């Protein structure tokens, strides 16, 4: 532990050795049969490259922008909820992203307050679910704005599905004596993880400080989740309202369909993330990379399109950009890096992705990520999924 690793797969192996079973299982996650989480990985492996052998570019530029933020490579940190990985959690991730010149997206269900994260990385996007009243939503976004967040992400693709064929992790409502006794058998075998929390002064309290009402203590995860489940479901008018209340760069995350992407454009969003929530949501949804080409073709000239789901190496990033994404968002990959080696582990993951991007650009003879096109990718017949596209549906019905 605590050393450089050469692949995200190795970071995952080290994370598994470092973390208690329940914590590691929460990072792996997935839903029901795990079809979507598996397809997110498999789909990238179905795509290939068409490399050149001479006349290659000596310089390769990975820099781009996302919602007005300049970044060193087309990779940003995706928002992930309550992290019991390491005590400094999202703050360490924010520092790593800043050190590598990219954006961190902070979940409203994060374990550290937005003020600490923006201090560590001024390039912070704050993510919100449609949870609570409109007044509460406005209060949370204004808190994020006051803290210095430079963009807002609205995630609306959650359908509250539950159950995993391989079993769900044990997540206590709070860390009390009862919970500690229940989790003791798996924690005492993870000495380094346990020591890090003891040295930090305690154990994960599983609260969500960014959902606290003014003057009130932060709710615990299940209390916040319960509020979210009881909140009336949002409409497209609500999306437009939220975007207007923020008044700045605004991303809608979880778009998989062409018709939804067009509605998002009509609502005035700045960007959309083609995402199936990392396979944690509605199982049987196709890999996000399969849905990307149709969405990018339909709205890529109107809004920025990002890809979230299944990215494990730099070649995955290049495939996504070539098929129409401005950048990708990573989740599990950086969490495994965080577990493997803290802030340095997250930086290690970002370096792995950057190095892979550079190698593929070299092989393809491209001098910039902006030069990538679908012609650089070998796409097998039947790979893409055109979801919510009336034209495609009409062809299938004939």
- Is residue 332 within 8 A of residue 78, CB to CB? The reply is no
User: Measured at the alpha carbon of residue 314, what is the angle toward residues 377 and 26, in degrees to the nearest 5?
Assistant: 115
Backbone angles phi, psi at 219, to 5 degrees: -70, 160
For the beta carbon of residue 178, count every other beta carbon within 10 angstroms.
Answer: 11
Q: How many angstroms separate the CA atoms of 65 and 71, rounded?
A: 6
* Integer Cα distance of 398 and 386 in angstroms: 16
Instruction: For residues 294 and 144, give the distance between their C-alpha atoms in angstroms, rounded to a whole number.
Output: 33
Burial class (CB in 10 A: 0-12, 13-18, 19+), 176: exposed
**CA–CA dist 119, 95 (Å, integer):** 9
DSSP state of 279: G
Token pair listed for 78: 């995706």
What token pair was written down for 321?
């950009």
**Contact present, 310 and 40 (Cβ < 8 Å):** yes
Per the residue annotation, which of 112, 277, 301, 370 is the catalytic one? 277
Is 112 tagged catalytic?
no
Residues belonging to the active site: 277
């Amino acid at each position: 532990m605590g050393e450089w690793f050469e692949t995200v797969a190795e970071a995952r192996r080290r994370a598994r050795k470092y973390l208690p079973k329940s914590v590691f299982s929460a990072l792996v996650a997935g839903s029901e049969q795990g079809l979507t989480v598996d397809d997110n990985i498999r789909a990238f492996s179905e795509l290939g490259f068409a490399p050149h052998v001479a006349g290659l570019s000596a310089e390769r530029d990975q820099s781009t922008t996302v919602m007005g933020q300049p970044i060193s490579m087309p990779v940003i940190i995706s928002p992930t909820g309550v992290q019991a990985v390491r005590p400094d959690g999202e703050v360490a991730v924010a520092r790593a992203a800043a050190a590598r010149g990219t954006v961190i997206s902070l979940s409203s269900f994060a374990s550290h307050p937005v003020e600490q994260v923006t201090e560590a990385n001024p390039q912070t996007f704050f993510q919100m679910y449609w949870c609570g009243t409109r007044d509460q939503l406005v209060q949370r976004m204004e808190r994020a704005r006051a803290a210095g967040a430079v963009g807002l992400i609205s995630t609306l693709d959650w359908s509250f599905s539950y159950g995993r064929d391989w079993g769900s992790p044990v997540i206590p409502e709070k860390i009390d004596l009862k919970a500690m006794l229940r989790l003791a058998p798996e924690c005492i075998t993870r000495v380094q993880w346990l020591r890090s929390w003891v040295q930090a002064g305690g154990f994960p309290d599983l609260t969500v400080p960014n959902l606290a009402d003014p003057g009130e203590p932060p709710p615990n995860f299940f209390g916040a989740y319960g509020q979210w489940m009881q909140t009336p479901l949002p409409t497209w008018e609500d999306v437009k309202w939220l975007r207007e209340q923020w008044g700045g760069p605004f991303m809608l995350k979880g778009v998989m369909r062409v018709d939804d992407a067009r509605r998002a454009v009509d609502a005035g969003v700045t960007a959309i993330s083609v995402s199936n929530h990392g396979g944690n949501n509605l199982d049987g949804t196709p890999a996000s990379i399969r849905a990307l080409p149709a969405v990018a073709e339909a709205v890529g000239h109107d809004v920025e399109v990002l890809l979230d789901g299944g990215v494990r190496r730099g070649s995955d990033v290049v495939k996504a950009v070539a098929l129409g994404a401005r950048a990708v968002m990573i989740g599990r990959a950086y969490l495994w890096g965080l577990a493997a080696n803290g802030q340095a582990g997250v930086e290690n993951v970002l370096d792995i992705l950057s190095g892979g991007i550079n190698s593929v650009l070299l092989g393809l003879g491209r001098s910039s990520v902006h030069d990538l096109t679908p012609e650089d990718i070998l796409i097998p017949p039947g790979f893409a999924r055109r979801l919510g596209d009336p034209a495609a549906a009409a062809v299938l019905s004939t």
